[in-house]
Amino acid sequence: MFIMSKVFVNLIDYTSLDELDSMEVMIPHDLAGYRLDQALVALFPDYSRSRLQQWIKNGDVKLNGQVAQPKGKVWTDDKVSMLIPEEVDPEVIIAQPIPLHIVFEDEDLIVINKPAGLVVHPGNGNWTNTLQNGLLFYNDQLKMVPRCGIVHRLDKDTNGLMVVAKNLSTHQDLVRQLQARTVKRHYWACVQGMLTMPGQVDAAISRHPTQRIKMAVVATGKEALTYYNILERLPCHTLVECHLATGRTHQIRVHMQFIGHPLAGDPVYGGKPARFDDNSMQALQSLHRQALQAFRLGLIHPRTKEYCEWSIPLAADLVALVEALRQCRYE
């Protein structure tokens, strides 16, 4: 039985696959000299030793900022950071023949162009017809990889590029790259109003204090940084390219709303748009989603260690929106 004299634990709410549940602990004197997995069993009795060991093996545990070694020992005041994957029992995930638009595939990874309207992975009240169900049907060996290889997420109504790991070593490498911010994710967005120059939004994000289904800029939230460049100025809107330095839930949508330029068509963060001419209003109403696409994805290939990048053209519904908004005028 362990007697812990001083333990600091920081629990952070689940937000996205990019920023999994995290815990941070300072090793107490009582556990100095123990193996890392032994110490974690004492500190987190709700998790089995085998599960904790698997998280260490997957690279989800860091010791003093470095990826922890399975047999490493810990000492007083060592800092352990642990990412807790949101786990769904593989037995409840049904393989379903969902069409997948595969942009690239090799023995290690798959790059997919996710359509708008497709949920990424199963969750409460939404156990079927997700990307994860489709991946399991496409390749049943993906059941051996956490979340069938999904390492990051796009909102249901955001289309664009995602990378999927086909094996554990690739999954571990991609998770580390996301943590190190070496995965390059560029988004096309159409925002309300006229932006005059490029810039950045450096504002922490957390759950909205009163509307729990929404995110918001909150002083005590997690660091969030978005860069944006202007692609085209339209009469009533601006087309921008956003580059994520962090990966918070709804980050671009929240940040652009924060600076007064919410995404066109955003049903959650868009607010009440200005009154445009009928053709423009019809185009916005026909979109049925936020005007956001993950159009470019870059990463270091886990096996070759070479930088790889993929890009896709603008989706047809977004092209139609831009064509209509180029003729937009206030009423």
Annotated catalytic residues are 155
- Say whether 220 sits in a helix, a strand or coil: coil
Q: Which DSSP symbol is given to 97?
A: -
Matching residue, tokens 């330095």: 245
| Residue 243 φ/ψ, nearest 5 degrees | -120, 125
The dihedral region occupied by 235, where left means phi > 0, alpha psi between -120 and 50, and beta the remainder, is alpha
CA distances (Å), 292 to each of 72, 96, 114, 177, 189, in order?
44, 27, 12, 23, 5
Q: Which residues contact 259 (CB under 8 A, 6 or more apart)?
A: 199, 201
User: Helix-strand-coil percent breakdown of the chain, rounded to 5?
Assistant: 25, 30, 45
Q: Contact at 8 Å (CB) between 226 and 243?
A: yes
